[in-house]
Amino acid sequence: MEYFLELLLGGLTRGSIYALIALGYTMVYGIIELINFAHGEIYMIGAFTGLIVAGLLTMLGFPGISILAIAITCAIIWAAAYGYTIEKVAYKPLRGAPRLSPLISAIGMSIFLQNYVMLAQTSDFLPFPELIPEFGFMSDFKTVMSSSELVIIVATVLSCIGLTLFIKFTKLGKAMRATAQNRKMAMLVGINVDMVISATFIIGSSLAAVGGVLIASHVGQINYFIGFIAGIKAFTAAVLGGIGSIPGAMLGALVLGLTEAFATGYVSSDYEDVFAFCLLVLILIFRPAGIMGKEKTQKV
């Protein structure tokens, strides 16, 4: 039973990280029907920003938990700036182009960012400080769940709730839903579509940056390539849940994370990816649009 619980929590942690990244994929797809392959790189850049800021603050002697807060804030701002810029540079000029063009542009952006970070920073693995302290009240459960896992799960849950409320109740959220449903119509009723798209990229990038800093602090290492696998897995999660649907991305990420954890725990970690992708194929056979995806209906 304890073993099951441990696997469950491990899977939830992994799923939470996937969810934070998958939300960015799914939101962007919902609004402009583009798979933003550079999104994994935003996650990586968020983590690097966190590393640099945390290093600086540690040198200046800030106390533990404030470093985490400031590092995440800086990572969010920096990654959001990247997301905004990428959209303006790589996708906006191609908005009227055939759908393949922005896709290629996205792949190019991803390669560019990876190599840029490799050259500007390093190709080596770097240690990432443990920004999440071991909480006193968690010491009894240490073997089952570490504090960083708790923080990751809680942060993801809060982000998801926050995002859902934002989409549902704010004016901008309403504008996003409208744009997702029909961009032309939204423009006709006076929505600044460009602004809405920018906002989508900014929100998606911010969530990825939070995920980047938290997971880097959890595993304690970082390099320029971490965005690739995380991005692919999150993209899988988004497709699994139904790309374009926000609750779908959350659900898909959790399902993927749990599948991987249980496949490792009860079968073999050799087959971790095999199980994850078999599940994807199965779900797509029976529900081609993903778990929560509906054919041709609202996307955000």
Binding mask 38-77 for other proteins (x = CB under 8 A): ----------------------------------------
Half-sphere exposure of 151 (CA within 13 A, CB side): 21
Query: How many amino acids of this chain bind other proteins (CB under 8 A)?
Result: 39
Pick between residue 24 and residue 102 the one whose CB is nearest to other proteins: 24
Q: Residue 281: what are its φ and ψ, rounded to 5°? A: -60, -45
Q: Fill in the amino acid letter for 102.
A: P
Q: How far apart are CA 45 and CA 86, in angstroms?
A: 13
Pick between residue 127 and residue 162 the one whose CB is nearest to other proteins: 127
Q: How far apart are CA 74 and CA 200, in angstroms?
A: 19
Pick between residue 219 and residue 282 the one whose CB is nearest to other proteins: 219
Q: Considering the complex, what minimum distance in angstroms separates the CB of residue 122 from other proteins?
A: 11
Pick between residue 62 and residue 277 the one whose CB is nearest to other proteins: 277
Query: Which residue intervals of the chain are DSSP H helices?
Result: 2-32, 39-60, 64-86, 100-120, 147-169, 171-181, 183-188, 193-219, 226-241, 246-262, 272-286
Q: Considering the complex, what minimum distance in angstroms separates the CB of residue 265 from other proteins?
A: 5
Q: Which region among 11-19, 61-69, 72-80, 96-104 touches other proteins (by CB under 8 A)?
A: 11-19
> Is residue 129 classed as helix, strand or coil in its secondary structure?
coil
Binding mask 256-275 for other proteins (x = CB under 8 A): ----xxx-xx--xxx-xx--
Beta carbons within 8 Å of 226's beta carbon, 6+ residues apart: 43, 44, 47, 212, 216
Q: Is 126 in the site for other proteins (CB under 8 A)?
A: yes
Q: How far apart are CA 36 and CA 106, in angstroms?
A: 6
| Burial profile 80-95: b = 16 or more Cβ within 10 angstroms, e = fewer | bebbbebbeebbeebe
Q: Is 33 in the site for other proteins (CB under 8 A)?
A: no
User: Which of 177, 183, 233, 299 touches other proteins by CB under 8 A?
Assistant: 233
Pick between residue 101 and residue 264 the one whose CB is nearest to other proteins: 264
Pick between residue 55 and residue 265 the one whose CB is nearest to other proteins: 265
Q: How far apart are CA 190 and CA 187, in angstroms?
A: 5
Q: Which region among 28-36, 62-70, 120-128, 177-185 touches other proteins (by CB under 8 A)?
A: 120-128
Q: Is 135 in the site for other proteins (CB under 8 A)?
A: no
Name the residue among 103, 99, 98 with its Cα closest to residue 38.
103
Beta carbons within 8 Å of 282's beta carbon, 6+ residues apart: none
Pick between residue 212 and residue 241 the one whose CB is nearest to other proteins: 212
Q: Considering the complex, what minimum distance in angstroms separates the CB of residue 205 from other proteins?
A: 18
> Is residue 293 classed as helix, strand or coil in its secondary structure?
coil
Pick between residue 89 and residue 154 the one whose CB is nearest to other proteins: 154
Residues interacting with other proteins, by CB under 8 A?
A: 3, 6-7, 10-11, 13-14, 17-18, 124-127, 142-143, 146, 149, 215, 218-221, 223, 225-226, 228-230, 233, 260-262, 264-265, 268-270, 272-273
